[in-house]
Amino acid sequence: MPAGSEHDVAPPPSRRPVQRISGPNRTTPPDARAVPVVPREHHAPIDDHLGASTPAAASAVPRTYAPQSHSSRPHAGSSMPRTTPAPPTGPRVSQRPTSPHSRPSNPSSLSERQGHSAGSARTTRRRPVARIIAVLVLVALVAWPVGLVMWANGKLNRVEALSGAPNTPGDTYLIAGSDSREGTDIGGDAPGARTDTIMLLHAPEDGPTALISLPRDIYVAIPGHDSSKINAAYSWGGAPLLVDTVEELTGLTVDHYVEVGFSGVQGIVDAVGGVELCYDRDVQDKESRLDWTAGCHMADGDQALAFARMRKADPLGDIGRAERQRQVVSAVATSLQDPAKLINPATQTKLINAGTGAVVVDEQSGVTDLGKLALAFRNANSDSGITGTPPIESLDYRPGGVGSAVKLDDEGTVRFFADIATGSLAPGEYNGLD
């Protein structure tokens, strides 16, 4: 074709626009696929300052629906001009693409987290204080009984009483009630201390615990002296001679000596809030000042003291008094088993003041031994324990020089205490006259 011909000029290499045809005349090439158009507004800009990055002239270029990869950039060789983004007109704020799983910040949730953190800090600060208080309470609970025992041990009166004889199996306590009448409001004068109450408490290694009363008028051999009533031993040689006399009579070595004055009976009974005592006769005794109606009654310190001292109004005399004395001591020991009284600091203080002011123990005994004594009293007065007196031959024995005395059955007494020592004596009450 000749040059210069108008029809021979090749068209410029520009891209041919594709016309969109709608309606029934629209045709689609068989090898073309429909490509979905993603609206431009769904693409979030990376930075606000980029603004509209496509020039107005480019918007006039028709879109090509060809099966090819789509890109936001122009194709190589395209004559589409590029524009420089306009500078931002306001403060620059950086925004990150929003993750589909991200959630907007909730001011109330933030406040809750801050409040929770503050509460946790306050709780953490309070915990050391609570722990310190708990430790102090625990120390006080431990220190109180320890300090109480030490204080009580320091208040106890002590005396040399034990003989030092070889030990016999089990634990043996000698309890003496001193009738010095010092510190009581009972009238009359007593020429020197006497033992109105003598009891032997033995807890064998195996067998029943025994609480045996030794009537003060029993006629016995007194080491280094002539035979006489047993209460003379205390008058002549005090606690050591009384211990020697009892050991010779019973064959048991005394491990602990406890002496209680009459004033102590009043104070101890009042400290525990009174005790219940029973006697089946009406009594109005001027000497002991006991005014009693047959039956069981709660007795205070004064009534308990009169109950333990009364003898002449009792048909059994000294034997009956020994039984009532055991009842008073046992009632006090039983009352001390009440946890409400044992853990009450006020009761503890009253009891220690009353007890230590009237109780004398041997040099080797302390408050813990008195606690064991109370437990042994309870065991002896239970159904599995033994109470009573040794076998008695006569209640009106008159050997001369001592008036009326109580004569023990010598052979029966030896067997009686031998069985107690070995724990082979059957539980029960032995009144000595059977």
The pLDDT-based confidence of 332 (bands split at 50, 70, 90) is: confident
% of the chain surpassing 90 pLDDT? 33
The pLDDT-based confidence of 211 (bands split at 50, 70, 90) is: very high
Q: Does some domain include residue 284? A: yes
Number of domains in the chain: 1
pLDDT value of residue 265: 80
Q: Does some domain include residue 171? A: yes
Across the strands, what pairs with 292? 283
* Strand pairing report for 386-388 and 210-213: parallel
Q: Does some domain include residue 12? A: no
Q: Does some domain include residue 126? A: no
Rounded CA gap, 306 and 324, in Å?
Answer: 10
Rounded CA gap, 287 and 289, in Å?
Answer: 6
Contact 200, 214 (CB under 8 A): yes
Place of tokens 């009892």: 246
Q: Does some domain include residue 57? A: no
User: Over 70: is that where the pLDDT of 196 sits?
Assistant: yes
Question: Smallest Cα–Cα separation from 310: which of 183, 196, 191, 429?
Answer: 196
Lowest-confidence segment of 54-58, 154-158, 218-222 by average pLDDT:
54-58
Q: Is 156 helix (H, G, I), strand (E, B) or coil?
A: coil
pLDDT value of residue 121: 53
CA dihedral sign, ordered 406, 410, 412, 418: positive
* Total count of residues recorded for the chain: 434
The pLDDT-based confidence of 193 (bands split at 50, 70, 90) is: low
Task: Please write the tens of the pLDDT for every residue from 263-308.
Answer: 678 888 988 889 999 999 999 998 889 999 999 999 999 999 999 8
CA angle 72, 78, 83 (to 5 degrees): 65
Task: Please write the tens of the pLDDT for every residue from 29-52.
Answer: 444 444 454 555 444 444 444 444
**Which residues, 6 or more positions from 152, have their beta carbon under 8 angstroms from its beta carbon?**
352, 355, 356, 367
* DSSP assignment letter at 79: -
In order, the DSSP letters of 323-392 are HHHHHHHHHHHHHTT-HHHHS-HHHHHHHHHHHHHHEEEETT--HHHHHHHHHHHHHHTSTTSEEE---E
Task: Please write the tens of the pLDDT for every residue from 359-414.
Answer: 889 988 887 888 888 889 889 988 999 999 999 999 899 998 889 999 999 999 99
CA dihedral sign, ordered 371, 373, 378, 379: positive
Contact 255, 201 (CB under 8 A): no
CATH number at residue 277: 3.40.630.190
Q: Does some domain include residue 230? A: yes
Rounded CA gap, 114 and 331, in Å?
Answer: 66
Name the residue with higher pLDDT: 74 or 311: 311
Q: Does some domain include residue 425? A: yes
Q: Does some domain include residue 307? A: yes
**Which residues, 6 or more positions from 407, have their beta carbon under 8 angstroms from its beta carbon?**
218, 219, 392, 393, 394, 397
Contact 268, 332 (CB under 8 A): yes
The whole domain housing 387 covers: 156-430
What does the block give as tokens for 321?
């008094």
Q: 418: alpha, beta or left, given left = phi > 0 and alpha = psi -120 to 50?
A: alpha
